[in-house]
Amino acid sequence: MSLFITFEGGEGSGKSSQARALYRRLNTLAIAALLTHEPGVTRLGKRLTRLLKWAKDTDISPAAELLLFNASRAQLIAEVVKPALAEGKIVVCDRYYDSTTAYQGYGRGLDMNAVKAANATGSLGLKPSLTILLDIPVEEGLARKKGSKDRFEQEDIAFHNRVREGYLKLAKDEPQRWLVIDSRQSKTKIAQIIWQRVTELIKKR
Ligand SMILES: Nc1ncnc2c1ncn2[C@@H]1O[C@H](COP(=O)(O)OP(=O)(O)OP(=O)(O)O)[C@@H](O)[C@H]1O
Ligand SMILES: [Mg+2]
């Protein structure tokens, strides 16, 4: 049986580092796995990412943003994730629909029913087996990041705090699906905590 594992958290919380570490560990153990991320990966997703993250001369309203993320998601799920799951792989995805709930719902303040409906369409109804929330105070996460700032990194601290609180609420509302980790711990320690939970899931499947 396949597993779909997603990583969530604010800016610089360590999602990409931990998704990679988990994928490498699965590979080392010769467990069939696929590493992917949102938005992007597919041809459509890459084009939409350029707009969603880097558009300077294009206004994107909150509702348009909600739908563009979900357009990219629908393509990724159909083209990449579902086929890999059908082959019995463990799919590790860096961000998924909870990012949309946190950023466009809690961050931008869009109506939650609209967010849920768009996410249901964009995900083709696919729910993660496990979602890992890497939680870190907003300023510490942002301070970890180097290089140019995308549209989201340029938002103010209040926005990022709404995102963080939104994530924590999502995790609290659905504790079986979420594993919340204090991301101020070392990368090695975090990877250990994640691996412990993933091995439990692998044994059960
Ligand atoms: N536990 C940790 N302790 C200290 N630094 C870390 C930790 N995890 C990741 N980092 C560092 O913080 C930076 C951001 O990490 P990473 O890119 O994995 O985060 P992210 O959540 O994917 O960020 P983004 O929001 O840009 O996608 C990197 O330089 C990474 O090496
Ligand atoms: Mg990342």
Q: Write out the DSSP string of 3-64.
A: EEEEEEESTTSSHHHHHHHHHHHHHHTT--EEEEESS-SSHHHHHHHHHHHH-SSS---HHH
Q: Whose CA is nearest to atom 12 of ligand 1?
A: 144
pLDDT score of 58: 86
What is the token pair recorded at 100? Answer: 């949309």
Residue of 24, 132, 144 to mutate, ligand 1, most atoms within 8 A of C-beta? 144
pLDDT of residue 205: 77
Distance 9 CA to ligand 2 centre (A): 9
Q: What is the pLDDT of residue 120?
A: 98
Query: How much is the pLDDT for 200?
Result: 96
State residue 191's pLDDT score: 98
Hey, whose CA ends up nearest to atom 26 of ligand 1? 12
pLDDT score, position 62: 96
Task: State whether the beta carbon of 9 lies less than 6 angstroms from ligand 1.
Answer: yes
pLDDT for the residue 40: 83
Candidates 3.40.50.1110, 3.60.20.10, 3.40.50.300, 1.10.287.130; CATH matching 3-204 = 3.40.50.300
Atom number, ligand 1, closest to the C-alpha of residue 13: 21
Residues of the chain with pLDDT under 50: none
- The verdict on the CB of residue 38 being under 6 Å from ligand 1 is no
Ligand 1: which residue has its CA nearest to atom 25? 11
* DSSP for 166-204, written as a single string: HHHHHHHH-TTTEEEEETTS-HHHHHHHHHHHHHHHHHH
In this prediction, residue 162 carries a pLDDT of 98
Ligand sitting nearest the alpha carbon of 183: 1
Nearest CA to ligand 1 atom 19: 14
Ligand 1 close to Cβ of residue 12 (< 6 A): yes
